[in-house]
Amino acid sequence: MATLEVSDGTLWYDEVGDGPPLVFVHGGWMNGDAWRPQVDRFADEYRTITLDVRGHGRTGATDRERYSVSLFVDDLESLLASLEVEQPILCGLSLGSMIVQEYLDRHPDRAAGAILAGPVRSMPPVDVPTGVKPFLSPLPALTATLSVAGPRTTFRSLLGSIRTVTNGPWLSTDSSIRSQAIEAVGDVSRAEFRKIFDALYAFDPPELSHVTTPTLVVYGEAEASPVRRQGRRIAATVDDGRWAAVPDSGHLVNQDNPQAFNDVCAAFLAELDATASRPL
């Protein structure tokens, strides 16, 4: 475990293993521990790197008044530069997938590969005209709920709203995993919760058609249908994309069914390795 000084704060990260760099970026209001099943699986062959995104987990609060996905990518770039990682394989879930998408937009051919789990192009995961979206923001109501009820209850309320639309478990098919996720949210302060939500809601998805990085989209079969649609669209847009659905899993696909998720990722990583080893 280590830390890196970034603008207005200190970024927590951890490295396990040796080999090609495999960097995991967690979802909103979670932390790097969410990737433990993947670190356990891949650290024998890869240099696994996890981090707690600004505002989350052991990184915690920073002095910035507002957060953005662009700022989170700045932090990721600072971490990669500090660790002298030049061709990372990036794996991001949910908010982490937004961060990876933004990184790919900035560097369409720098990463050795990208895995987008439970990928979202927007929050909510539906097409809303850019000029209209600010007027539909739930942030004022969310701020009021936060001030009274706190992050955990606010997060439960968000989950309930989504479940009403999806008519399914969505976040997780495993009640213990869902409880762990809600517990992690409770470690985030009211102010940081609001800033993270604002970053998610304000994200303007890049177009990605210029991205040549091999990209795998993975989602759970119980994932919300709008997220599944957005994920398949990403896979169809990038130059070298593919997608896979993991059974018995929801949005937290890497934790709901880690064996199946890891197997899908391992096959993709083997494909990357074979391509890299192929003589020119």
Of 66-70, 133-137, 182-186, the one with minimum mean pLDDT is 133-137
The residue type at 6: V
Tell me the CATH number at 47: 3.40.50.1820
Domain count, the chain: 1
- Give the range of the structural domain holding residue 60, as residue numbers without chain letter: 2-277
Tell which wins on pLDDT, 226 or 75: 75
What are the tens digits of pLDDT across the range 243-268? 999 999 999 999 999 999 999 999 99
- 56 near 188, Cβ under 8 Å? yes
Q: What is the number of other CB atoms lying within 10 angstroms of the CB of residue 190?
A: 15
What are the tens digits of pLDDT across the range 149-192? 788 888 887 777 666 656 667 899 999 999 999 888 988 999 99
Q: Which two tokens stand for residue 244?
A: 């896979």
Residues 107 and 117: their CA atoms lie apart, in Å, by 19
Q: What is the number of other CB atoms lying within 10 angstroms of the CB of residue 29?
A: 28
